[in-house]
């Protein structure tokens, strides 16, 4: 009866199996994780890869060193029957799959490289919102994220807060929320309102009571307005 492998011998065997591509499923995933986390184990796998490389290319007429298997056996605890059986299994599998490896290599080398798919840049939704009283705002909408970035460039002094509205062509104003009295503000646009941010719609700012915002409709005329443009 074959004696069980010692832990250190199991590590050698596992590294060889990983190098040969004999592992599958959870065993393969566990070995890959260990290869990333354990430098010693990763080095053992790399040594096996270098030793097994001539066998994988056997069908491509590469000369295999006469002492290759002797070097492999010297790296294994050959006195133990279990290891000898494993070595014979690896030898048989390596020889049997050498032709398949050569064919796969030829396919990879001869297969035409696919042309990269170049996607057009996403459209940019912008608006310059200006008014006669010196108010000025700039808006940029990210349709993929549903985020509206609004910069307050200038605004007349007021006790009220600036509220931003989108007015679709022929429609009623819909509040998008309060913008900053000074500087930038990112605003998440509700999904129901995103389709309103379309070419030709109007963005407008009115001065409203901050405590009760957002409002169902503006309480006064806009201090600034501008059309949406899609670039």
Is there a single domain that holds both residue 140 and residue 70? Answer: no
Report how far Cα 10 is from the mean position of its chain's Cα atoms: 36
% the chain with pLDDT above 90: 37
| Within a domain: 168 | yes
103 or 148: which carries more pLDDT confidence? 148
Q: Which domain holds residue 67?
A: 7-110
| Within a domain: 1 | no
Q: Is the pTM of this model over 0.75?
A: no
226, 129 contact by CB (below 8 A): yes
Is there a single domain that holds both residue 20 and residue 106? Answer: yes
Beta bridge partners of 230: 125
% the chain with pLDDT above 70: 68
Per-residue pLDDT at 131 exceeds 60: yes
Q: What is the DSSP string of the chain?
A: -PPPPPHHHHHHHHHHHHHHT---HHHHHHHHHHHHH-HHHHHHHHHHHHHHHHHHTGGGTPPPPTTHHHHHHHTS-TTSHHHHHHHHHHHHHHHHHHHHHHHHHHHHHHSPPPPPP-PPPPP-EEEEEE-TTS-EEEEEEETTTTEEEEEEEE----SSEEEEEEE-TTS--EEEEE--SSEEEEEEPPHHHHTTS-TT-EEEEEEE-GGG-S-SS-SS--SEEEEEEE-
User: CA separation (Å) from 38 to 20, 31, 32?
Assistant: 19, 10, 10
Identify the band that residue 185 occupies on the pLDDT scale cut at 50, 70 and 90: very high
Is there a single domain that holds both residue 129 and residue 223? Answer: yes
Is there a single domain that holds both residue 59 and residue 139? Answer: no
Is there a single domain that holds both residue 106 and residue 130? Answer: no
Identify the band that residue 50 occupies on the pLDDT scale cut at 50, 70 and 90: confident
In the chain, the number of structural domains is: 2
Per-residue pLDDT reduced to its tens digit, 188-227:
999 999 999 999 999 999 999 999 999 999 999 999 999 9
Is there a single domain that holds both residue 132 and residue 222? Answer: yes
Per-residue pLDDT reduced to its tens digit, 62-74:
455 556 666 666 6
pLDDT at res. 83? 56
pLDDT at res. 62? 47
- CATH code for the domain in which residue 177 is found: 2.60.40
Is there a single domain that holds both residue 102 and residue 132? Answer: no
Per-residue pLDDT reduced to its tens digit, 144-174:
889 999 999 998 888 999 999 999 988 899 9
Is there a single domain that holds both residue 98 and residue 176? Answer: no
74, 31 contact by CB (below 8 A): no
Mean pLDDT of 48-56: 66
pLDDT at res. 65? 54
Is there a single domain that holds both residue 11 and residue 106? Answer: yes
Is there a single domain that holds both residue 130 and residue 216? Answer: yes
């Amino acid at each position: 009866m074959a004696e069980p492998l010692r832990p250190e011998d199991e590590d050698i065997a596992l590294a060889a199996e990983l190098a040969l591509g004999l592992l599958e499923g959870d065993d393969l995933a566990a070995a890959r994780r260990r290869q990333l986390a354990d430098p010693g184990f990763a080095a053992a796998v790399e040594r096996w890869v270098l030793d097994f490389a001539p066998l994988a290319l056997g069908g491509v007429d590469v000369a295999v060193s006469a002492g290759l298997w002797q070097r492999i056996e010297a790296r294994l605890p050959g006195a133990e029957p279990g290891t000898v059986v494993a070595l014979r299994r690896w030898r048989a599998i390596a020889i049997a799959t050498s032709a398949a490896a050569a064919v796969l290599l030829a396919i990879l080398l001869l297969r035409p490289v696919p042309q990269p798919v170049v996607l057009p840049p996403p459209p940019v939704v912008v608006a310059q919102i200006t008014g006669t009283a010196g108010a000025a705002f700039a808006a940029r909408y990210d349709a993929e994220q549903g985020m509206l970035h609004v910069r307050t460039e200038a605004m007349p002094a007021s006790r009220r807060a600036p509220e931003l509205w989108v007015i679709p062509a022929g429609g009623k104003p819909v509040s998008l929320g309060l913008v900053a009295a000074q500087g930038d503000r990112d605003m998440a646009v509700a999904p129901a309102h995103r389709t309103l941010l379309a070419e030709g719609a109007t963005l407008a700012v009115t001065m409203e009571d901050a405590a009760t915002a957002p409002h169902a409709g503006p309480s006064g005329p806009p201090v600034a307005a501008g059309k949406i443009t899609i670039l």
